[in-house]
Amino acid sequence: MNAPCTFSIKNNGISQYFDVSYLDITRNGDTSVLKQNQKTPFNDVIKRFNPTNNFLDEVKRVKFKHDLHRQIMAKRGKNIKELGTLSNNQKKSCKKACETMINTVIFSKDKKVHYKSGQYIAFVTLTLPSKQVHSDKEIKRLQTRYIENLQKTYGVKYYVWKAEAQKSGNIHFHLLIDKWIDWTVHRKLWNKQLDKLGYLDTYFNKHGDRNPNTIDVHSLKKDKKGKKLKNITTYIIKYMTKLEFGKRPILGSLWGCSDATKKLDYPKYSEGYPLFDHVVAFINKGHLKQVIKEDFFSYFSGRTFHYISEYYKYLWHDLKAFYQLQNGNVLPQTIQQKEFIRSKVYKPEKTLVPKSDVKVTQKPILVQEQINFGNPALWSNNVK
């Protein structure tokens, strides 16, 4: 194939694809995915949904309308995902954001800097102290203000959040950030936002306290069962992309991340890159298992980072340098042009002109020579 090959290295696999944009291929777009081609009579009902105090009860009505919408679109040959679930593309995007964020923070860690003052992976859960009476959209606004406070006051740069529903029906959020912040600060900032909608007043009327425990800072050393975590990245990704059963759907956005997190990417090696052959040799060794093989795409699954760190030191060093460069810890490598110093003086050799009737035109070779005029004191103009 004439298209260039590229490898994208992830924690637990390698994607191989060919850039077919270089090839002359006719592509027919799928217009059925456009929103204007997915309209049914129930779309307007869902958009005009105006929740009241019985929000949790009205969610069932919205779900019923959405199920009717899915049935109509299925007859048209288009599958619509269930309400309140992540699509396959959303799962991939959420996984990429979590994986690249964790790798960037871990590989950029400076051992000389204390974890409380440098970058640190923290996992926080935000909950409501009483029954939810506002829409999911209004609660998400509180979460947005809470995250903005973390960014402006405590320097949070990377974050990923996911909204889920509890068994009680209340919405709660999982938040992955890159700063160590004391749990008392998290509770103070989140309760301050909840007070805007009167949730602290409701809690005070029932318990006589205005400081409910509405946050939970998870330890990333052990899981819920108390077992030691072998891979933090895998644990977080499963937590953030898991499918919820038996719970009411979340209306609106289900996850999000910062603009800085969106710019993070996997390390990629294309043909012509110095370490491209190292990746090919690593795959040919048989450490990974090929699970997908198509014309323009293949995927190799396995413990990528484990084997690269053990047997391919140059490639492992380049992976860490890539994430450090994304984080701004190191400057991009540039080739500095050295000052040109000629160490020797080369004189052109004499060329013999061939004797022939044909005139040979040759450009004259100009040679700069040094001429010694002797001692300036003996020049005639200087003789008195």
pLDDT, tens only, 301-329: 999 999 999 999 999 999 999 999 988 87
pLDDT of 359 reads 52
pLDDT of 15 reads 94
pLDDT (tens digit per residue) in 143-182: 999 999 999 999 999 999 999 999 888 999 999 999 999 9
Q: Cβ(206)–Cβ(199) under 8 Å? A: no
How sure is the predictor about 348, in pLDDT bands with cuts at 50, 70 and 90? very low
pLDDT (tens digit per residue) in 110-119: 888 888 888 8
pLDDT at 300 over 60: yes
The better pLDDT of the pair 331, 7 is held by 7
DSSP string for residues in 303-326: -HHHHHHHH-HHHHHHHHHHHHHH
Q: Cβ(16)–Cβ(7) under 8 Å? A: yes
Lowest mean per-residue pLDDT among 36-45, 90-99, 124-133, 195-204: 36-45
Burial, 290: exposed, middle or buried (Cβ in 10 Å; 0-12, 13-18, 19+)? middle
* Beta strands 159-165 and 268-270, pairing class: unpaired
Distances (CA, A) of 301 to 90, 94, 291, 375: 21, 19, 7, 82
How sure is the predictor about 84, in pLDDT bands with cuts at 50, 70 and 90? confident
pLDDT of 151 reads 94
pLDDT (tens digit per residue) in 209-235: 999 999 999 878 766 666 777 788 888
pLDDT of 188 reads 95
How sure is the predictor about 342, in pLDDT bands with cuts at 50, 70 and 90? very low
Mean model confidence pLDDT for the chain: 82
Output the six-digit token pair for 99. Answer: 């994986």
Helix axes 304-311, 313-327, angle to 10 degrees: 120
The better pLDDT of the pair 339, 375 is held by 375
How sure is the predictor about 371, in pLDDT bands with cuts at 50, 70 and 90? low
* pTM of the predicted protein model: 0.79
Helices (H), 180-312: 183-194, 199-207, 232-241, 259-262, 276-284, 304-311
pLDDT of 92 reads 93
Average pLDDT over every residue of 84-103: 92
Distances (CA, A) of 67 to 38, 159, 326, 362: 14, 33, 43, 87
Q: How many CB atoms lie within 10 A of CB 310?
A: 11
pLDDT at 72 over 50: yes
The beta strand positions in the chain, using DSSP E, are: 5-10, 13-18, 119-126, 159-165, 171-179, 215-218, 255-257, 268-270, 289-293, 297-301
pLDDT at 30 over 80: no
Class for domain 88-262, per CATH? alpha beta
pLDDT of 310 reads 92
Torsion, Cα of 280, 282, 286, 287 (10° steps): -140
How sure is the predictor about 351, in pLDDT bands with cuts at 50, 70 and 90? very low
The better pLDDT of the pair 384, 134 is held by 134
Spans of all domains in the chain: 39-79, 88-262
Spatial separation of the C-alpha atoms in residues 50 and 251, rounded to whole Å:
12
Residues of the chain above pLDDT 90, percent: 46
pLDDT at 13 over 90: yes
Spatial separation of the C-alpha atoms in residues 149 and 159, rounded to whole Å:
13
